[in-house]
Amino acid sequence: MNVKRFVFSAVTIIFSFILQSCVFTRLSFGGIIPNLLIIITASFGFMRGEGSGITIGFISGLLCDIFSGSVLGFYALLYMCIGYVNGKFARIFYPMELRLPLLAILGSDFTYGMVCYILLFLLRGRFAIGYYFLHIIVPEMVYTILVTIVYYPLILLINTRLEKDEQRSAKKFV
Amino acid sequence: MSPIVKKKGERFTLPSKYVLLILTAVCVSLMVITFNTDFSGGPLRDVVGVVIVPFENGVSAAGGYLKTRSEQLAQIRDLLAENEALQSQIDELTIENTTLQQERYELTYLRDLYALDSEYEDYEKIGARIIAKDSGNWFSSFVINKGTNDGLAVDMNVLAAGGLVGRIEEIGPNWARVLGIISDNSNVSAMVLSSSDHMIVSGNLSTYAKGVIDFSQLVDSDDVVEGDKIVTSNISDKYLPGILIGYISTISNDSNNLTKSGFITPAVDFEHLEEVLVITRQKNIPAEATGQVEEETASEE
């Protein structure tokens, strides 16, 4: 991993986390905020492969754990697995194609919501799955996908630039 | 060549499934450690204090500035009209104030007489600003801009507008995370102010959409009614006694006919929290607390 890529990943994670916890909390609709960390975890997964998905997911999740989790490591594991699964789609990913990213991010956010519900709520005897599905999981998915339409092209743009740079410098040394 | 380490040029890379496996083991052990011991991050909390919190401070300050600016513009017209109405109200209030001041003297005199504590006015408090909210949609916690450097510690009680907001759950050098009483994983030992009947107040994500949280395990003799004040109980080991939580909005018998449960409207408006007060005195400081109790009972005798 070169310096540029490292800086880009670190800045993206910190920027997304702050955007999510400081800015979007003021722009929430009915108390629901979008999940930017899922967007970056999934996008790095299918853009860069499993390794990147795991790393970005792990760090994003760890941030969530420190600032909002009750046990350290829960969100880290969840985001990491989401990043890994998205990394599997790297083989069928083309930058010009928008359907795969949207579907992957939607699926990731749905998985995230369901796992959170089952492990954090259902196991404590909160059985009203219909309520949580309609009032938390689905609104979060909708808001996240709306934000994705603006946020994802930015990440993609910077990523393609970096990839071009890397290819060029690789050619130079051949 | 071993299956784990592939050679790609001169760089060694580990296949991602092994990375996943290792990090999963790390996560699971972290979960077990934090669940079973007091360890909660250690150096990680200092790192985020340096990397994340300064940005959050800046963003929330900028956001607060923009918000007040836009509100100022929108409200100027309303304010002009309101100003007139308020002017006339000031006249009324000045008269009322003088009578109230007289009554206050009387009250302080009577309080001294009965050696009553003037509720939680005496607790030493520190003001703090909320700089970030929970990054998910499932729980209600938030981050404030003060930490151990300002003399705060875990389990200190947090107030706003006279009511209980929650307690500090996790802390770093310049930040602290407050778990709100409305959060789904929060339970507070409480009591009815009028009858001192104990109960458990628990946050609930689904009922809070209607502005209420749950209470349960209330044992009483039919004298608790809707609208009664609920305060933190004297048997809680984390919350100082007598802090207002809210008011009973509905109450019903449980199916066991022994206990009652229902809903409470919190005294604090959690949607529009910007600043909070942290009480720097903690519930269990044994030496000081027992000393005071002994003194009080001695003087009563």
Per the CB < 8 A criterion, the answer to whether A71 and B35 are in contact is: yes
CA-based nearest distance A152→chain B, Å: 19
> Which of B22, B27, B59 should we substitute to test contact with A (largest number of A Cβ atoms within 10 Å)?
B27
User: Mapping DSSP to helix (H, G, I), strand (E, B) and coil, where does residue B284 land?
Assistant: coil
Interface contact flag, B31 A72, Cβ < 8 Å: yes
- Asked if residue B288 belongs to a domain, the reply is no
Q: How confident is the model at residue B34 (pLDDT cuts 50, 70, 90)?
A: confident
- Domain membership of residue B68 (yes or no) is no
Which residue from A33, A71, A132 is facing B31, i.e. has the nearest CB? A71
Q: Does B209 fall in a domain?
A: yes
A21-25, A45-49, B266-270: range with highest mean pLDDT? A45-49
Which range has the worst mean pLDDT, A110-119, B65-74, B158-167, B272-281?
B65-74
Whether residue B135 and residue A17 make contact (CB cut-off 8 A), yes or no, is yes
Query: Under a CB-based contact definition with an 8 Å cutoff, are residues B225 and B232 in contact?
Result: no
Residue B168 lies in a domain: yes
pLDDT per position as a tens digit, A102-136:
999 999 999 999 999 999 999 988 888 999 999 99
Provide the sign of the torsion angle of the four alpha carbons A121, A126, A129, A131, taken in this order: negative
Pick from B2-11, B38-47, B230-239: least confident? B2-11
Domains by residue range for chain A, with CATH? 3-167 (1.10.1760.20)
* pLDDT at residue B135, rounded to an integer: 83
Q: How far is B272 from chain A (nearest CA, A)?
A: 10
CATH number of the CATH domain containing B269: 2.40.10.340
Residue B172 domain flag: yes
Q: Which of B13, B20, B29 should one mutate to test binding to chain A, selecting the residue with the greatest count of A CBs within 10 A?
A: B20
The b-or-e profile of B2-30 (16+ CB within 10 A means b, else e) is eeeeeeeeeeeeeebeebbeebbeebeeb
Question: How far is the C-alpha of B177 from the C-alpha of B195, rounded, in Å?
Answer: 33
Confidence check: pLDDT of B260 > 50: yes
- Measured from the Cβ of residue A12, the count of other Cβ atoms closer than 10 Å reads 21
The count of domains in chain B is 1
| Helices A3-18 & A36-48 angle (0-180, nearest 10) | 160
Q: Is B48 on the interface with A (CB under 8 A)?
A: yes
The answer to whether residue B273 sits within a structural domain is: yes
Name residue, tokens 């990375």. Answer: B19
Q: Is a pLDDT exceeding 70 seen at residue A33?
A: yes
Question: Tokens representing B40?
Answer: 């909660």
Q: What is the pLDDT of residue B284?
A: 67
**B209 inside 8 A of chain A by CB:** yes
State percent of chain A over pLDDT 70: 98
The C-alpha of B166 sits at a distance from chain A's nearest C-alpha, in angstroms, of: 14
What's the pLDDT score for residue B289?
Answer: 46
B41 close to B173: Cβ distance less than 8 angstroms: no
Question: Which of A119-123, B31-35, B74-78 shows the highest mean pLDDT?
Answer: A119-123
**For residue B55, is it within any domain?**
no
Predicted TM-score (pTM) of this structure: 0.77
Lowest mean pLDDT of B26-30, B106-110, B173-177, B214-218, name the range. Answer: B106-110
Q: What integer pLDDT is reported at residue B262 of this predicted model?
A: 93
Residue B142 lies in a domain: yes
Answer for the pair B267, B246: CB distance below 8 angstroms, yes or no. yes
**Confidence check: pLDDT of B123 > 70:** yes
Instruction: Reply yes or no on whether the pLDDT at B287 is more than 60.
Output: no
Give me the residue from A23, A72, A80 closest to B20, CB to CB. A80
φ, ψ of residue B229 to 5 degrees: the values are -75, 135
CB-closest option in B26, B41, B135 to A64: B135
Residue B270 belongs to domain spanning:
123-282
- For B223, list phi and psi in degrees, rounded to 5: -105, 0
- Count CB atoms within 10 A of the CB of residue A88: 15
User: Cα–Cα distance between B48 and B147 in angstroms, integer?
Assistant: 13
Please give the Cα distance from B224 to B227 (Å, whole number).
9
Question: Who has greater pLDDT, A106 or B57?
Answer: A106
Q: How confident is the model at residue B112 (pLDDT cuts 50, 70, 90)?
A: low
Query: Cβ distance B115 to B299 under 8 Å?
Result: yes
Structure tokens given for A147: 């934000």
